């Protein structure tokens, strides 16, 4: 039974699934053509694009955090709808941008609204579902995200083949329409109930929660390792053919689609979530070791080690996500769910923003020692998360 079929019994999950599918299809199209659109059509330099997206990423951090408080006051559904419209409008505005300043302004809206969407979506899940259902629903949504990003990336091949400004502009416009179409199922969502109580915990004073979010941000560097580090490492430091990069990404996508929901079912409470995150860190450590050793083998050995590495990497990815979701939901104050989910989304947003610089500054620049730094970072982040989760359980039992 497919993930889409499993949503038929729950109208809330069904609406979120279709909205996620269309938005992810748009994201796949953008992955394929946006960089070329910015440089060849708008006429920006690669450095300007990089700087603009970095500025937009910083704005996205503020949006991820602040939108949680807004969701608590105005409602998660309203915030999700508004930010989806804003992102779609921003993608459409890219087609009209012809200067660096306009590009940066539009990018800030596009990236910021997408970050706010993630917070609003997790807040909605926190309020509409309970217990293990929240983690499993989020796991199914992540499968949908990965699959449709892959489909969108394949669809972008048509524009890349034509390789004209018109093709790139049309693809950007289609992506905007797809994002805006996500509002159709979202409009049918009921507004989740909000708990009105005077005594609410604030996440800004919940140092355990902040610590777990920060450690999760370190684990999030793994995504930059996959999308930035591996292509550079395989082509520049190993004897494996360049086509191996595409194969590794396909393996990762398929692995997540097959095993993310299963990984979510391993997490039953806060204590097991901490242990699962620590296991994820161990798998990521093994992946770093295998990637590093691949630089010293002949073609066949290097390719085999890279494949084994991406299996370990993918295992760490699905486990880290499942454990992180459980901790983000269960350690949050349900009376202040939006604010807590805003904090939980800020850590990974920081990790994603820093990942390219961290990965290139360690593994790519320094080889084996750099991979060792990444491995130790992942292991310490996983161990720290497990300790914080265990102390949260002990505190609750007192």
Q: What is the CATH number of the domain that holds 118?
A: 1.20.1250.20
Which stretch of 66-75, 200-209, 220-229 has the lowest confidence by average pLDDT?
200-209
Give the other-Cβ count within 10 Å of 151's Cβ.
15
pLDDT the model gives residue 190: 75
Q: Is 182 in the same domain as 278?
A: no
Above 80 in pLDDT, residue 147?
yes
pLDDT the model gives residue 398: 53
Residue 3 lies in a domain: no
pLDDT the model gives residue 6: 52
255 — pLDDT class (breaks 50, 70, 90):
very high
- Mean pLDDT value of segment 249-276: 93
- Mean pLDDT value of segment 96-116: 93
Q: Is 102 in the same domain as 251?
A: no
Radius of gyration of the chain (CA): 21
> Final residue of a domain: which of 130, 158, 187?
187
Q: Is 229 in the same domain as 297?
A: yes
Which stretch of 29-33, 78-82, 271-275 has the lowest confidence by average pLDDT?
29-33
Above 60 in pLDDT, residue 8?
no
- Mean pLDDT value of segment 319-329: 95
197 — pLDDT class (breaks 50, 70, 90):
low
1 — pLDDT class (breaks 50, 70, 90):
very low
Contact 253, 309 (CB under 8 A): no
Above 80 in pLDDT, residue 397?
no
> Final residue of a domain: which of 140, 158, 187?
187
Interatomic CA distance for residues 358 and 66, integer angstroms: 26
Above 50 in pLDDT, residue 259?
yes
Q: Is 223 in the same domain as 94?
A: no
Above 70 in pLDDT, residue 248?
yes
Q: Is 106 in the same domain as 243?
A: no
242 — pLDDT class (breaks 50, 70, 90):
confident
Q: Is 28 in the same domain as 162?
A: yes
Q: Is 212 in the same domain as 153?
A: no
pLDDT tens-digit readout, 19-69: 999 999 999 999 888 888 998 899 988 788 888 888 888 888 899 999 998
pLDDT the model gives residue 396: 67
Above 80 in pLDDT, residue 93?
yes
The sign of the torsion formed by the CA atoms of 213, 216, 217, 220 equals negative
Range of the domain at 325: 203-397
Residue 343 φ/ψ, nearest 5 degrees: -65, -40
269 — pLDDT class (breaks 50, 70, 90):
very high
- Mean pLDDT value of segment 103-129: 92
pLDDT the model gives residue 35: 84
Ordered alpha helix ranges (H), 129-243: 132-162, 165-181, 183-187, 207-219, 221-224, 230-237
Q: Is 244 in the same domain as 392?
A: yes
- Mean pLDDT value of segment 129-136: 85
Token output for 246: 């595409």
Number of domains, the chain? 2
Q: Is 216 in the same domain as 364?
A: yes
Q: For the chain, give the mean pLDDT.
A: 90
Residue 196 lies in a domain: no
74 compared with 6, residue with greater pLDDT: 74
pLDDT tens-digit readout, 199-219: 567 888 889 999 999 999 999
Above 80 in pLDDT, residue 378?
yes
304-305-309 Cα angle (round to 5): 120
Interatomic CA distance for residues 173 and 11, integer angstroms: 29
Above 90 in pLDDT, residue 275?
yes
Q: Is 216 in the same domain as 182?
A: no
Q: Is 176 in the same domain as 258?
A: no
336 — pLDDT class (breaks 50, 70, 90):
confident
188 compared with 85, residue with greater pLDDT: 85
* Closest of 369, 341, 374 to residue 66, by C-alpha: 341
Residue 364 lies in a domain: yes
pLDDT the model gives residue 193: 62
Percent of the chain's residues with pLDDT above 70: 94
* Closest of 348, 349, 342 to residue 73, by C-alpha: 342
Q: Is 254 in the same domain as 336?
A: yes
Above 70 in pLDDT, residue 224?
yes
- Mean pLDDT value of segment 108-131: 90
pLDDT the model gives residue 198: 55
Give the other-Cβ count within 10 Å of 197's Cβ.
9
Interatomic CA distance for residues 17 and 121, integer angstroms: 11
103 — pLDDT class (breaks 50, 70, 90):
very high
């Amino acid at each position: 039974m497919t993930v889409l079929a499993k949503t038929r019994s729950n109208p809330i999950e069904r609406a979120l699934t279709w909205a996620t599918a269309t938005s992810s299809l748009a994201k796949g199209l953008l992955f394929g053509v946006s960089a070329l659109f910015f440089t060849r059509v708008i006429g920006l330099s690669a450095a300007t694009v990089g700087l603009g997206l970095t500025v937009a990423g910083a704005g996205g951090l503020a949006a991820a955090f602040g939108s949680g408080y807004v969701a608590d006051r105005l409602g998660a559904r309203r915030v999700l709808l508004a930010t989806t419209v804003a992102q779609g409008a921003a993608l459409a505005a890219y087609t009209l941008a012809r200067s660096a300043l306009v590009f940066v302004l539009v990018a800030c809206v596009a990236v910021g609204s997408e970050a706010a969407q993630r917070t609003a979506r997790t807040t909605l899940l926190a309020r509409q579902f309970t217990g293990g259902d929240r983690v499993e629903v989020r796991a199914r949504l992540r499968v949908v995200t990965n699959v449709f990003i892959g489909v969108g990336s394949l669809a972008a091949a048509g524009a890349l083949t034509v390789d004209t400004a018109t093709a790139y502009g049309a693809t950007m416009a289609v992506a905007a329409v797809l994002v805006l179409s996500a509002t159709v199922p979202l409009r049918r969502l009921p507004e989740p109930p909000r708990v009105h109580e005077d005594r609410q915990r604030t996440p800004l004073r919940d140092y355990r929660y902040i610590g777990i979010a920060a450690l999760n941000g370190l684990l999030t560097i793994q995504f930059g390792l996959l999308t930035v580090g591996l292509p550079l490492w395989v082509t520049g430091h190993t004897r494996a053919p360049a086509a191996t990069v595409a194969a590794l990404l396909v393996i990762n996508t398929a692995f997540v689609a097959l095993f993310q929901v299963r990984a979510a079912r391993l997490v039953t409470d806060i204590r097991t979530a901490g242990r699962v995150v620590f296991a994820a860190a161990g798998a990521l450590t093994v992946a770093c070791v295998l990637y590093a050793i691949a630089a010293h083998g002949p073609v066949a050995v290097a390719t085999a080690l890279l494949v084994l590495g991406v299996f370990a990497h993918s295992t760490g990815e699905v486990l880290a996500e499942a454990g992180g979701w459980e901790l983000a939901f269960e350690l949050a104050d349900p009376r202040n769910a939006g604010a807590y989910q805003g904090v939980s989304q800020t850590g990974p947003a920081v990790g994603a923003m820093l990942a390219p610089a961290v990965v290139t500054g360690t593994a790519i620049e320094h080889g084996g020692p750099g991979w060792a730094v990444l491995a130790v970072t992942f292991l310490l982040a996983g161990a720290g998360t497990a300790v914080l989760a265990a102390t949260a359980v002990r505190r609750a039992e007192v």
